[in-house]
Chains A and B, each alone.
Chain A
């Protein structure tokens, strides 16, 4: 059909190109200007710092008014001293390492188990009918409920702790992947089929990337559940051969009637949770959502 075109067609073609280019310039969505680093700091870091300062001030004021006895409400400075002492003696690093390494290892194993499980539930109708609702139910079961059973089955061993962590995080990760796959617009797999994708290449090039936001949300929740389950297991299953984790540290604080130690432990547990969220999951999620133009929730 490539016939030589008469001059008036070329003329019309050029006019068309100009109109098209004008439309492109007018209709393309405006891009948000990226904020400067200083503005970003001002908008994201200052509010939580101010909130933390206020909290600390209220605490100090409550302690100074001496409504509660010292063994119930310690001074902020006393808690800080406890934390500083454990950091200086090297105990803090060891305690954190014991707990964080357990949580990370448990989480990774959970990812390896939950990913194929989620794919199976999402894509095979019989599997979904059989265990789909069971998995959702397990997600709402507090993982601390598994601790007694784990101790009876595995004794006071690391296996018991890992078992509880897995029971906590596998359902969240698998459910996240399932809902990620369920939320894929049905047109996309059809388009993939029309473009020549087989079953496997469709999973690799269409399904998995399309389900990534939901999967990532599942991973984030899975991490939170594995951290929580680990703390529950460590607080209840305490024994010398299990080593000293954050949960045991908290438990020891209670046994010693040392409120500063208890609050220091809670503070460290929070610190790890927030740290992993800010350093790992938040940037990952931002990158994935920004690439898809889903920046509404990010601010």
Chain B
């Protein structure tokens, strides 16, 4: 069962983040590159959306815009959540801080008191099953453990300012791409568990169709140069044959998008 959403029309109130007509151009004049063009996207609170696309589709640009690290050339981005958290392909932990202190960092920047910081950080570390490793430095942890600390830190940065009950939003930029297959498998399952327990919305960028279908409730396919939303699929709760059918269908579309570029150039 693959439901194709031709015209997604959830109400404005019901969106964690809503992008309308977002366009991003890098550079000026003849050398200008259009990274994103007319992107409309809505993510409901607590929803898990996977952005799928080949290289150069502006996935990372899109995340930077939503995170506020960059401003769109035109179009609007409306957030109803607390400040979105970002997770990168590398864990990018501060090497001079212990795992617990890394998780505390966003809380510290948000001005939380030490006691509250400690409590929140140890709670989040146990959530990613690293309750015992809080005192370790990043270089003493494996790649998978580091990425889990980064997950806890990202949760701290979006939930730390959300005591008032505003939902969280996490932006993940291929966070598992640099990990080996088994670790990636375990971390994908951990992410789904953490997502269920915290109820934060997730926008997950990947170029792996299998990963997108496994994790997401909805898969959004972007075209490349400029990035546009090509199509969306509802993939929530698919198993067995339905899941592999979806993967096949989405892969076919992704291939189509990519080969379109060979013809164009």
Contacts and interface: CB of A to CB of B under 8 A. Distances in A.
The 7 closest A-B pairs by CB, nearest first: A293-B139, A27-B142, A194-B86, A195-B106, A1-B199, A292-B95, A191-B92
A224 B105 CA distance: 36
Interface stretch (B189-197, B204-212, B218-226, B252-260): B189-197
A196 B186 contact: no
Chain B interface helix/strand/loop/mixed? helix
Chain A interface helix/strand/loop/mixed? helix
Nearest to B138: A293
Contact of A195 (B95, B142, B153, B189): B153
Contacts of A293: 95, 137-140
Interface string B144-173: 110000000100010001000000000000
12 contacts: A2-B196, A2-B197, A16-B189, A24-B133, A24-B145, A28-B141, A28-B145, A187-B88, A194-B67, A210-B96, A291-B96, A293-B139
Nearest to B141: A28
Nearest to A28: B142
B16 interface: no
Nearest to A194: B86
Interface string A203-243: 00110011010000000000000000000000000000000
A188 interface: yes
Interface of B: 46, 67, 69, 83, 85-86, 88, 90, 92, 94-96, 105-106, 108-110, 129, 133, 137-145, 153, 157, 161, 182-183, 186, 189-190, 193, 195-199
Contacts of B140: 28-29, 31, 293
A210 B190 CA distance: 30
A20 interface: yes
A190 interface: yes
A210 B199 CA distance: 34
B247 to A, nearest CB: 21
A78 interface: no
B137 A291 contact: yes
Nearest to A201: B109
